[in-house]
Amino acid sequence: MLFAGGLFAGTLGGLLGIGGGVVLMPLLRFVIGLTPARAAGTCILAVFFTTLGGSYRHFRLGNVNIRFIAPVIFSGAGATTVFSLVFLSLSSRERWLDLGIGLVLSLISLRMILEGLPGLIAPRNDEHAGKEMKGTLWQKMLIGGSAGIFPGLLGIGTGVILVPAFTFILSMPIKTAVASSLTSFCANALVSSSFKLSQGFIDLEVALPICVGTLLGSNLGAILNRRFPSRAVKFVFGVVFCYISLRFILPFFQVQT
Could you read off the pLDDT of 54-74 as tens digits, one per residue? 788 778 878 888 888 999 999
Mean pLDDT of 210-228: 79
Calculate ∠ Cα 218-60-159, nearest 5°. 45
Mean pLDDT of 19-34: 85
Band of residue 133 on the pLDDT scale cut at 50, 70, 90: low
Mean pLDDT of 70-85: 93
Mean pLDDT of 101-120: 76
Do 176 and 129 meet the contact criterion of CB atoms below 8 Å apart? Answer: yes
Residue type, 37: A
Mean pLDDT of 73-88: 93
Mean pLDDT of 190-198: 93
The rounded distance, in Å, linking the Cα atoms of 55 and 63 is: 9
